[in-house]
């Protein structure tokens, strides 16, 4: 009986399991894995959109080192990580603590805080372009209280800072939900013991909450740093396609998009920039995970 | 310590019941009034910061052509609310066509992701065959590839297939996402094996087991996949920006970017456009919050 079942299984299965997996494998093969490999290959060619490329060795990478725009992009994408990640690791945790207690109406607040996550980045970008406009709401308020108007969207550095603020604003709710799940697992006894020992709210936060959600903080740090380095839409929308004054707000992915698309797109060169994006992304992940391990020991 | 814990809630409960109803936290403990006031003040401040910008955008979109939208101090409510700007958006760009394009792309993305990832997830979780580990590895690797880094190669692939500048080209690269496949795989793995085994003994073939037993048991995860597929497609910007060049094929996000670039000075118009783009998703979120939150948890654990 058992034998016959087993042999039936063996006879029947070779075709159908692959039928199940085929659509998914086909799509990720053709549109994720193949493009990934071809990006790696193209990086060593001078391929253009309409012209098949020749192998050029490291020429693209040598050109990168001479390209001022590449260094601008690398600088801005790196600054983005430095500016955004600490805020996205800490602020959503505080927000999660604020909405953790089940007081009346709290589910409304939780949902409301999540709204920016649901909105398209284009909507979010345009909302903030209008809010931070020379004559927009923020400047109206600043003028009303006597500070005067600030050129959030005309100064190179203020533009980058504003874009970072928008990224943080949009990400708050998302990471808040992640932290809420982690906080639910913090044993209440720890807080009580600390309270009995006379620890105040801040002491308890630092000695009980933070250690308990530390692995979640690492996760959030890894997720947000990878996302921050690949920033495109916020800066594209707020600074414009050319990347702000003299292109000084261009990020790496904006540079990829600008050099690689269109009929004259330099596919090879854009692929070389993409390879840099891969390498830094992987390095960031490893860095965060390593910092995590060192903390633990 | 453990004694205190067990005693305190039971001891205080009768007292709270006797007096007026008190606000208690999830542990049944009373929250002090001062703390409560502080909490609500903070909550309202954050609310103004997170939802305020949307309300301001809505207010701007309802202000008529004669109303000053730049006034200082600002006027938060429109003096004479009008839908005029929404008509003007439709006169300026084919906004309803764009909305329809977005809807097509999003609906297709939902259908393909649900079907494709349920099938592949089941193949990875339940079926035995040579090469299953390799298939799983392929999906894991695909999940780790940063999409922003391969858009140019995706674009050239699309050109080779003759699908650039089509809505199909917009949908294809994400139409079965590796993350969703792995989510479905986990959902199937968490099902007790015995039920399917019983069906197998009863002579049910693999399709019957899949459709009648496995899929109905993972409806929750499937709903999460559907919602995130819809939201992802509706909100996406970078990929449609690269693959679409013909303004008649634009999706809403690309159309909005176009509207902003061309008519940047007309804030009322852009505001109306953004409200059109964001309203459906806020409505969807309001109805299906549970799945949105659940998706964050499952996606983060994997990602």
Q: Which of A117, A99, A97, A118 shows the shortest CA–CA distance to A108? A: A99
Is residue B6 pLDDT above 50, yes or no? no
| Mean predicted lDDT score pLDDT of chain B | 86
* Candidates B71, B120, B178; nearest CB to A140: B71
Closest Cα in chain A to B262: A240
What's the token pair of residue B71? 């006034």
Q: Which of A171, A93, A113, A107 shows the shortest CA–CA distance to B290? A: A107
Burial of B175 (0-12, 13-18, 19+ CB in 10 A): buried
pLDDT score recorded for residue A2: 45
Give the pLDDT band (50/70/90) at residue B302.
very low
Phi, psi dihedrals of residue B13, rounded to the nearest 5°: -60, -50
Q: Number of Cβ pairs closer than 8 Å across A and B?
A: 285
Boundary residue ending a domain (B26, B48, B83): B83
Q: Which of A246, A229, A244 shows the shortest CA–CA distance to A167? A: A229
Q: Do B53 and B141 sit in the same domain of this protein?
A: no
Q: Do B173 and B133 sit in the same domain of this protein?
A: yes
Contact: B231, A122; criterion CB under 8 Å: no
Query: CB contact, 8 Å: B157 with chain A?
Result: yes
Query: CB contact, 8 Å: A206 with chain B?
Result: no
Query: CB contact, 8 Å: A123 with chain B?
Result: yes
Q: Do B234 and B297 sit in the same domain of this protein?
A: yes
Closest Cα in chain B to A1: B201
3-state SS record for A137-156: HHHHHHHHCCCCCCCCCCCH
**Is the CB of residue B74 less than 8 Å from the CB of residue A140?**
yes
Domain ranges of chain A: 59-296
Q: Do B163 and B59 sit in the same domain of this protein?
A: no
CATH number at residue B186: 1.10.3720.10
Boundary residue ending a domain (B83, B110, B132): B83
Q: Which of B105, B86, B147, B153 shows the shortest CA–CA distance to B250? A: B105
Angle, alpha carbons A135-A140-A143 (nearest 5°): 115
Boundary residue ending a domain (B34, B66, B83): B83
Q: How many CB atoms lie within 10 A of CB A29?
A: 13
* Candidates B46, B150, B300; nearest CB to A219: B300
3-state SS record for B214-269: HHHHCHHHHHHHHHHHHHHHHHCCHHHHHHCCCHHHCCHHHHHHHHHHHCCCCHHH
pLDDT score recorded for residue B26: 55
* Candidates A39, A114, A240; nearest CB to B149: A39
Please state, in angstroms and rounded to a whole number, the distance separating the CA atoms of residues B250 and B98: 6
* Candidates B148, B235, B270; nearest CB to A230: B148
pLDDT, tens digit (0-9, with 9 covering 90-100), for B102-150: 999 999 999 999 999 999 999 999 888 888 899 999 999 999 899 999 9
Q: Do B49 and B113 sit in the same domain of this protein?
A: no
Q: Do B79 and B93 sit in the same domain of this protein?
A: no
pLDDT score recorded for residue A287: 87
Contact: B172, A27; criterion CB under 8 Å: yes
Q: Tell me which fold the domain A59-296 belongs to.
A: MetI-like fold (1.10.3720)
Query: CB contact, 8 Å: B277 with chain A?
Result: yes
Total domain count, chain B: 2
Query: CB contact, 8 Å: A261 with chain B?
Result: yes
Q: Do B59 and B94 sit in the same domain of this protein?
A: no
Q: Do B178 and B130 sit in the same domain of this protein?
A: yes
3-state SS record for chain B: CHHHHHHHHHHHHHHHHHCCCCCECCCCCECCHHHHHHHHHHHHHHHHHHCHHHHHHHHHHCCCCCCCCCCCCCCCCCCCCCCHHHHHHHHHCCHHHHHHHHHHHHHHHHHHHHHHHHHHHHHHHCCCCCCHHHHHHHHHHHHHCCHHHCHHHHHHHHHHCCCCCCHHHHHHHHCCCHHHHHHHHHHHHCCCHHHHHHHHHCCCCHHHHHHHHHHHHCHHHHHHHHHHHHHHHHHCCHHHHHHCCCHHHCCHHHHHHHHHHHCCCCHHHHHHHHHHHHHHHHHHHHHHHHHHHHHHHHHHHHC
Residue B222 Cα, gap to closest chain A Cα (Å): 16
Query: CB contact, 8 Å: B156 with chain A?
Result: yes
Cα distances from A66 to residues A38, A46, A62, A273, in angstroms, run 24, 17, 7, 13
Closest Cα in chain B to A98: B39
Q: Is B20 left (phi over 0), alpha (psi -120 to 50) or beta?
A: beta
pLDDT score recorded for residue B299: 64
pLDDT, tens digit (0-9, with 9 covering 90-100), for A43-72: 999 999 888 889 999 999 999 999 999 999
**Is the CB of residue A126 less than 8 Å from the CB of residue B270?**
yes
pLDDT score recorded for residue A62: 95
ipTM of the complex: 0.88
What's the token pair of residue B22? 């008190």
Cα B14 versus chain centre, distance? 44
Q: Do B289 and B223 sit in the same domain of this protein?
A: yes
Per-residue pLDDT of chain A (297 residues; tens, 9 = 90+): 444 454 445 444 445 788 899 999 999 999 999 999 999 999 999 999 888 889 999 999 999 999 999 999 999 999 999 999 999 999 999 999 999 988 899 999 999 999 999 999 999 999 999 999 988 999 989 988 888 889 999 999 999 999 999 999 999 999 999 999 899 888 888 888 888 888 788 888 888 889 889 989 999 999 999 999 999 999 999 999 999 899 999 999 999 999 998 888 899 999 999 999 999 999 998 888 887 777 665
* Candidates A137, A192, A232; nearest CB to B148: A232
Contact: A28, B138; criterion CB under 8 Å: yes
Per the listing, tokens 């540079």 go with A255
Q: Domain of B234? A: 89-302
Q: Sign of the C-alpha dihedral, residues A187, A193, A198, A199?
A: negative
Q: What is the mean pLDDT of residues B20-31?
A: 59
């Amino acid at each position: 009986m058992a034998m016959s079942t087993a042999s039936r299984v063996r006879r029947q299965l070779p075709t159908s399991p692959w039928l199940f997996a085929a659509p998914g494998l086909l799509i990720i093969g053709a549109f994720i894995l193949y493009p990934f490999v071809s990006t790696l290959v193209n990086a060593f060619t001078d391929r253009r959109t309409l012209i098949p490329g020749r192998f050029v060795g490291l020429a693209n990478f040598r050109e990168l080192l001479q390209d001022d725009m590449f260094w601008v992009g690398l600088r801005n994408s790196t600054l983005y990580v430095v500016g955004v990640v600490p805020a996205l690791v800490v602020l959503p945790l505080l927000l999660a603590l604020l909405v953790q207690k089940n007081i009346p109406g709290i589910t409304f607040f939780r949902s409301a805080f999540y709204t920016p996550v649901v909105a398209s980045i284009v909507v979010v970008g345009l909302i903030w372009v209008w809010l931070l406009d020379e004559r927009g709401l923020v400047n109206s308020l600043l003028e009303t209280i006597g500070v005067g108007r600030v050129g959030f969207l005309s100064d190179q550095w203020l533009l980058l800072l504003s874009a970072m603020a928008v990224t943080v604003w949009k990400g708050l709710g998302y990471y808040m939900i992640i932290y809420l799940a982690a906080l639910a697992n913090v044993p209440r006894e720890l807080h009580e013991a600390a309270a009995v020992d006379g620890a105040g709210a801040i002491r308890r936060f630092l000695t009980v909450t933070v250690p308990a959600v530390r692995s979640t903080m690492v996760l959030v740090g890894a997720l947000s740093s990878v996302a921050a380095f690949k920033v495109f839409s916020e800066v594209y929308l707020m600074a414009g396609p050319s990347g702000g004054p003299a292109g000084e707000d261009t990020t790496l992915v904006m540079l990829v998009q600008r050099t690689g698309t269109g009929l004259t797109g330099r596919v090879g060169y854009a692929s070389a920039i993409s390879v840099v994006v891969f390498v830094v992304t992987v390095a960031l992940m490893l860095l965060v995970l390593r910092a995590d391990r060192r903390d633990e020991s | 310590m453990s004694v205190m814990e067990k005693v305190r809630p039971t001891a205080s409960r009768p007292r709270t019941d006797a007096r007026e109803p008190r606000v208690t936290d999830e542990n049944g403990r009373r929250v002090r009034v001062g703390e409560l006031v502080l909490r609500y003040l903070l909550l309202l401040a954050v609310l103004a910061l997170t939802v305020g910008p949307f309300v301001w955008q809505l207010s701007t979109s309802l202000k008529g052509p004669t109303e000053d939208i730049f006034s200082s101090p600002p006027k938060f409510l429109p003096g004479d609310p009008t839908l005029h700007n929404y008509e003007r958006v439709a006169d300026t760009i084919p906004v309803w066509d764009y909305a329809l394009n977005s809807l097509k792309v999003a609906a297709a993305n939902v259908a393909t992701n649900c079907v494709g990832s349920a099938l592949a997830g089941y193949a990875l979780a339940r079926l035995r065959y040579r090469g299953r580990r390799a298939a799983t590895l392929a999906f894991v690797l695909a999940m780790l590839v940063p999409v922003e880094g391969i858009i140019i190669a995706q674009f050239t692939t699309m050109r080779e297939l003759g699908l650039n500048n089509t809505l199909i080209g917009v949908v294809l690269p994400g139409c079965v996402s590796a993350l969703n496949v792995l989510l479905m795989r986990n959902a199937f793995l968490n099902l007790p094996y015995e039920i399917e085994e019983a069906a197998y003994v009863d002579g049910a073939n693999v399709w019957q087991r899949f459709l009648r037993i496995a899929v109905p048991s993972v409806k929750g995860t499937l709903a999460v996949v559907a919602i995130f597929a819809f939201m992802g497609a509706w909100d996406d910007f970078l990929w449609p920006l690269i693959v679409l060049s013909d303004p008649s094929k634009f999706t809403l996000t690309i159309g909005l970017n176009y509207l902003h670039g061309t008519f940047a000075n007309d804030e009322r118009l852009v505001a109306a456009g953004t409200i059109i783009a964001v309203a459906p998703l806020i409505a969807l979120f309001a109805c299906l919050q549970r799945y949105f939150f659940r998706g964050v948890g499952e996606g983060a654990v994997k990602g």
